[in-house]
Structure 1
């Protein structure tokens, strides 16, 4: 999106009405497509039972499956746009503080013309260690907050996880792996000494994440352009794409550690610092005779206290396979979202789509289920920095933008995985 397009995207009342009408049409189209999908899938299952599956039915299923994915992508796009509030100019926002106005004005001058004197004076006054030499200047607080909001809308794992903002390079969290022993005693009976709690320290270092959006100097010279809003919109997608992969599969080296990078063990052998899994019973697929049973096992492998706020996490292809599943009464386990911004559901639990999750394959951990607020922690180091570079890609001006992000599992009992294997 260009700077001029960003400025022109101001949400007004007529646009809101149009967006609402578009959302209603999108939901209706999705529901209609799912009804057609169920009819064709019922016919396919009947053919399978007769052992006379028609190739044309299979091809029709694939076409409707693709249509459902397209409708879901459309709904997600509408929801994402709705969650992106207009940052606005200083006059359009609620009256900021004097310091905030000064920072915003100094940053605007730096972004447009490279005048860093105002930012240098502000950071010196605040006794900040940040200078142009060590990685640019802090963006205004409103812009940093807006980037965080947009990431929550675009990054699926961040959206369902706990997020902690820190001022240091590493967040350390003690966790009680076993509590103090307790028991009942009569009024005058002796109270034997109980065991002490066992604590483990978890460390979540914040790693550097960067993006480098570009703009022409002509657009930067346009006084109608909101540079802060443009910057937030340009970096959110780049940051979200990198985060989404790291939170799932990151190895913890110069990036967050994803929950699939931890040691995984069968649920029967689960122990602290490991992630438990339930086997599907068939390599690379759901079992043919009782395909829903592994999902039931996965749900009930989780303790009741975690199930209340649990979600399924899988990618689009896995969700396509799950859509075909029925319970013993012939009811579909998967249900489409009831409206824009709402998730599809599986067995009554929300389904979060993350393309970083692996496809269905032998020994793949393609589905996660759990309370991600308690399972995974995202750590944001306060401060987003921008370094203006008008030289490397003339006639464009590059904005080297960095933020520091970490992540890792904080409660190993709060989520379980499904391994698509016989055992």
Structure 2
């Protein structure tokens, strides 16, 4: 079965579970569900969450397959008469040198653009090591997927970003009258640093000597998700400078709605959270929450009996809640006493991620010399900060 067919099947099964859950919610409205109905509800909720996870895994599998194919094409391109032309990318030559021991350390950069937002260059081809690694990081990070602004700087000195407190506004001007000045107002600049993060991948000599697979692509596929998971958790819940971490979205965002209960949320409270943000920010806002929170919100209805949650009809596109995209992530806090567990945010205006300097890869045969193991160390500097408090609104459960 092809990847597309598997995606379509999972999406169809997930859609049926959503409709069954909605039918069950309608049948039990106004009364307590029976024990059997509760079991059915739990089964359907789990099926929907599992479907979401499978869809993400299948989409990631497709991206990995595409990356591996592109690496293989570059590594062994056939010439006009079948002659192997060798590598076409200097980046890949250096990566292969790291694999066979000719190179001990190398730095890789993405030279195409200073800004790494998907919207700026939608046709990134994973042309080099940094590009392929960054694709994994971006696609597996919910904060980045939801639209956070991404900046790349050549060096790692502290970077100061203006914090806007008011924007320019036009005014009606009569004929011959002076055009009034209107300038944006800036608060105190916020400092974004360059914190170092790394991971190490080890392999035995036998694997290197006998490998019949694309080792370069394998290393990138391992490092990419590893960085993505580590970075994304910090973008969500990092403590900030006090703990030498990025400013997490849920640690530094502003609370827009506090619930009346500690373990439940109503449709009216969710609507209140939506309107706690100014209209000019709502235009580009999206929801970010844990998968289990999403399972709860799928059953909420408005006062007219209409579901607030609208499942996506297109594979790979996010569901909609109150007309805004929903992104789920298991690193987001779950509902509980005092927990900030839902974010409604325009991350393109409210959160900045910085990648500083090149990706550095080092090779060593000495780390586990007595075990005949080769190690590759991946290092990257990055940071994340909240840049506009008005663009982020959190939902917080009651303290008791």
TM-score normalised by L of structure 1: 0.78
Give structure 2 stretches of 5+ with no counterpart. Answer: 80-85, 111-127
Aligned to 1:200: 188
The 3-state SS of whatever aligns with 2:341 is: strand
1:279 partnered with 2:258: yes
- Structure 2 match to 1:415: 392
Maintained 8 Å contact 1:315/1:358: yes
> Residues 193 and 227 from structure 1, CA distance in 2 versus in 1: closer, same or farther, beyond 3 angstroms?
closer
Give the TM-score, by structure 2 length. Answer: 0.82
Q: Which residue in the other structure is 1:83 paired with?
A: 63
- Contact kept, 8 Å, 1:281 with 1:422, in 2: the verdict is no
Corresponding pairs, count:
367
- CA-atom RMSD, angstroms? 2.9
- Identify the residue that residue 388 of structure 1 maps to in structure 2: 363
Pairwise mapping of residues 190-229 of structure 1 onto structure 2 (< 5 A)?
197-221=185-209, 225-229=213-217
Q: Is 1:254 paired with 2:247?
A: no
Contact 2:75–2:88 (Cα < 8 Å) also in 1: no
For residue 403 of structure 1, the aligned residue among 365, 375, 380 is: 380
Matches within 5 A, 1:54-93: 54-84=34-64, 85-86=66-67, 87-89=70-72, 90-91=74-75
- Whether the 8 Å CA contact 2:98–2:362 is kept in 1: the answer is no
Q: Provide Cα deviations, 1:80-110, integer angstroms capped at 9, x if missing partner.
A: 2233332423256899xx9974443243123
Give the alignment partner of residue 158 of structure 1, picking from 132, 144, 150: 144
Whole-Å Cα distance in 1 between the matches of residues 184 and 49 of structure 2? 52
Are 1:109 and 2:97 counterparts?
yes
Identify which of 301, 312, 315 aligns with 1:340: 315
Quote the Cα distance in structure 1 between the aligned partners of 2:256 and 2:168.
Answer: 28
Alpha-carbon displacement from aligned partner over 1:44-74 (angstroms, at most 9, x marks no partner): 33432xxxx3122112211121111111111
Distance 2:271 2:399 in 1: 16
Shift of 1:370: 1.6
Alpha-carbon distance between aligned partners in 1 of 2:326 and 2:183, rounded to the nearest angstrom: 41
1:27 aligns with 2:11: yes
C-alpha contact 1:143 1:228 (8 A) present in aligned 2: no
More displaced 10-residue stretch of structure 1: 30-39 or 217-226: 217-226
Please identify the structure whose Cα radius of gyration is greater: 1
- In the TM superposition, 1:347-362 aligns within 5 A as 347-362=322-337
